[in-house]
Every structure is written in structure tokens, then in C-alpha cells.
Amino acid sequence: MSIEWDDKLPIYRQLRELVVERILDGSFPEGEAVPSVRQVASDYNINHLTVAKAYQELVDDGLLEKRRGLGMFVLSGARESLTNNEQTKFMEEELPAFAERVHMLGLDMNAVADKLRTAGGDS
């Protein structure tokens, strides 16, 4: 497996976000094991401590749990928690930045909203 890491962000943070995306899209279902630290380190050719740090953040965030001798598992409720957090982040950070960009470019907000509805399938 190969992945392009962004030099502007620590690899453990990027790996954390990758796991978050996989929990959100259902690739890592609740109650199921995530790939082992060794497996991820080998697959992505990164240090096992980097993987362990990313996984530990996810444990600290209440998304993963370590089961002694078995590995890391996605906690029940992790997807809902992430969805709620991502929706809040979008509404509080990304949407205002988007609206500011629309304004800065001199675009008509109603035209942008219409385009968003069309792109989203809401006619």
C-alpha cells in the first residue's frame, strides 16, 4: 500500500484522520478490530511508534479501545460521535469560511445555494 503524506502535518495526525474517515464510511465497523500497529507500520512503511501514537489519540477520544492480547477495536457509538463532531466542525468552522470566500469572490449566495442543491441532488 502506498500513500502520499502531507509534509505540513505530522504523519500520526494524518493516519488518525485516515482511521476516522474509515470509521465514518463504515470500512472500520463498530465492534470490529482495526489493523494492528505492526500491520499499518508495514503497509505504509512508517514507524510503529507513529501508528501507536495515532491509535492512542483515538483511544483518548473514545473511538477505539485496546483489548489486551487482541488488538484495537472500534467502540460502539464511535461513528455517531464522529458524525456529530464533524457536523459541528463543519457548521462552526468550514461553513463560515466558505461563506466568507463566497462573499470575497463577489458571488451571489443564492446562486451558490442553487448550485449546491443541484450538486447534492436536491432540486
The residue ranking higher by pLDDT, 121 or 22, is: 22
- pLDDT at residue 2 is higher than 70: no
Burial category of 13 from C-beta neighbours within 10 Å (exposed 0-12, middle 13-18, buried 19 and up) = middle
The region, left, alpha or beta by phi > 0 then psi within -120 to 50, assigned to residue 46 is beta
3-state secondary structure of 71: strand
3-state secondary structure of 79: helix
Backbone angles phi, psi at 10, to 5 degrees: -55, 145
- For 18, residues 6+ apart whose C-beta sits below 8 A from its C-beta are 3
pLDDT band of residue 120 (cuts 50, 70, 90) is confident
Grid coordinates in use for 36? 494492528
The percent of residues in the chain predicted with pLDDT above 70, rounded, is 97
Q: Cell match 449546491: residue?
A: 116
pLDDT tens track for 97-117: 999 999 999 999 999 999 999
3-state secondary structure of 12: helix
The alpha carbons of the chain give a radius of gyration, in whole angstroms, of: 18
Q: 11-75 in CATH: which number?
A: 1.10.10.10
- pLDDT at residue 122 is higher than 70: no
- pLDDT at residue 68 is higher than 90: yes
DSSP state of 73: E
What per-residue confidence (pLDDT) applies to 4? 85
